Copies of this chain bind each other. A is one copy, B any other.
């Protein structure tokens, strides 16, 4: 693999230490699902703009990083739909009368303009580019992790999933928290490198490093797509006359 995005942030001592113990690959399992985290309006804004520009209207914006990730996420989503892999969309819990996990850290109750109110109203709308289709799971959370305060673990167990392919934002926030919890629940966690993004370049890179080192396989999109095709092929009936493919499929 070429140089990883985090390498320029490592110190010399870090590099020397890592040379003695390369990150282990965990590998894919037998039954994948796709988890799309927080792809909502609040972090995109209404159009692609550099972050220092976009935050003037959308304070939670990740700038161009999000818009660049979108086509890659769309490819993961299209592949999952094609192969009928379970898809879970996460977004924020709103209007439930409970404060979010970050509310206590100083969000204002100041007067809002009509434009601000409109943006707040739309903040947890998943953007059209990756909009859930009817029947796909959409869960709402009030915490960084997709697992906390949601029935996600029950849903994945019900589907007998063992591998979670993750896209979304932010790399250093909800993606990281969800990946840690996924590993904790003993899923095989896969992070699509081009499919996650953050509002800070250094945090993006270093959280990919942490996840790859400890909790997940951080892989390029191409490798994830190739795995999914191989995975599907292995589950197809080998031929119309063979027929023991169904038993295998049923086993998964």
A interface residues with partner B (beta carbon < 8 Å): 6, 9-11, 13-14, 16-18, 20-21, 24-26, 30, 51-52, 55, 59, 93, 96-99, 101-102, 104-106, 132, 135-145, 148-155, 157-158, 160, 162, 172-173, 176-177, 180-181, 183-188, 199-203, 206-207, 209-210, 213-215, 248, 251-252
B200 touches A154 (CB 8 A): no
B153 touches A101 (CB 8 A): no
Q: Are A202 and B10 in contact (CB under 8 A)?
A: yes
What is the CB-to-nearest-CB distance from A130 to chain B, in angstroms, rounded to a whole number? 15
- Chain B residues positioned under 8 Å from A143 (CB to CB): 151, 154, 184
Minimum CB–CB distance from A89 to chain B (whole Å) comes to: 9
The 8 Å CB contact of A135, one of B10, B11, B97, is B97
Contact B185 A10 (CB under 8 A): no
**Which residue of chain B lies nearest to A155 when distances are taken between CB atoms in the complex?**
B98
Bound-state CA distance A251–B248 (Å) is 9
Assuming A135-B97, A200-B17, is B151 touching A151 (CB within 8 A)?
no
Please state if B16 and A138 are interface contacts (CB–CB under 8 Å).
Answer: no
10 cross-chain CB contacts under 8 A: A9-B9, A14-B202, A17-B51, A17-B200, A20-B52, A98-B154, A104-B188, A145-B180, A157-B185, A248-B251
Known contacts A104-B26, A180-B144, A251-B252; A137/B186 CB under 8 A: no
Q: Are A52 and B13 within 8 A (Cβ)?
A: yes
Could you tell me the distance in whole angstroms from the C-beta of A163 to the nearest C-beta in chain B? 12
Q: Please give the distance in Å from A237's CB to the nearest CB on chain B.
A: 14
Check A187 against B157 for contact (C-beta < 8 Å).
yes
User: Would you give the shortest CB distance from A8 to chain B, in whole angstroms?
Assistant: 10
